[in-house]
Structure 1
Amino acid sequence: MDLKDQLRELFPDHEPEQSEETENQKPAIWIQEDPIICKYEKRNGRPVTLLEGYNGADKDFEILSREIKQLLGVGGSFKKGRILIQGDYRDRIMDYLKQQGFKVKRVGG
């Protein structure tokens, strides 16, 4: 029995209010007009995917890098306004960013 069920038993006549904030909730990350550039490179013979060109706050871009790494289950880093993802995941990253509302531009290869 979860908390909502317990509250319903205690207060059977109460109807929860739905606020407009939850219905019109904005994304946590600032969406920009310019496309994010998605590049493929080889560093020391290993493939990497680079994302750059984000105009928002670095903290938001760092949150986005964490989400992408968790989605793919791979390592990576965030340095100097760039996201570096280990491996060639351009297609999956571009699909994810488009679902989140970003414009993405594929560069190289």
Structure 2
Amino acid sequence: MSDWKKRLGVLYSTDPNYSYTTEDDRPEVATLPPAGQRLRLSLSRKQRGGKEVTLISGFVGSDEDLEALGKTLRQRCGVGGSAKDGEILIQGDQRTKLLTILHSLGYTQTK
């Protein structure tokens, strides 16, 4: 794979002092322990055709850990969803169920 394919966002710059960022240059995000996370639960219908989703935001950590937490929550609720951009989407209004699941997993600072 060529070097230009690894560049993020910019293919060419006329600035002679510009340095490209690549996937390897991204800082590694350390995942906070569950007790240190400040997760927020909310119900959203925006841009979803009137369907409800429970939105979990405020996760600090790597994408792999976010995806693993999202998978655990989806399995425990028995519904679908996704995890991306620091947020977890769970289909339906699952706020009360998710609150008890998160407390059992050690996430104490949830709203």
Please provide the CA RMSD for this pair. 1.5
Question: Where does structure 1 differ by over 6 angstroms across 4 or more consecutive aligned residues?
Answer: none
With the length of structure 2 as denominator, give the TM-score of the two structures.
Answer: 0.64
Question: Normalised by the size of structure 1, how large is the TM-score?
Answer: 0.65
Q: Structure 1, unaligned stretches of length 5 or more?
A: 1-28
User: Which residue number in structure 2 is paired with residue 23 of structure 1?
Assistant: none
Q: What is the identity percentage for the equivalent residue pairs of Structure 1 and Structure 2?
A: 38
Which structure has more strand as a fraction of its residues?
1
Larger radius of gyration: 1
Indicate conservation of the 8 Å contact 2:44/2:55, yes or no: yes
> Deviation per CA, 1:14-58, whole angstroms, max 9, x where unpaired?
xxxxxxxxxxxxxxx832524201110113111100001011222
Match of 1:26 in 2: none
- Give the unaligned 5+ runs of structure 2: 1-31
Partner of 2:44 in structure 1? 41
Task: Provide the rounded CA distance (Å) in 1 between the counterparts of 2:82 and 2:58.
Answer: 16
Q: Which residue of 2 aligns with 1:65?
A: 70
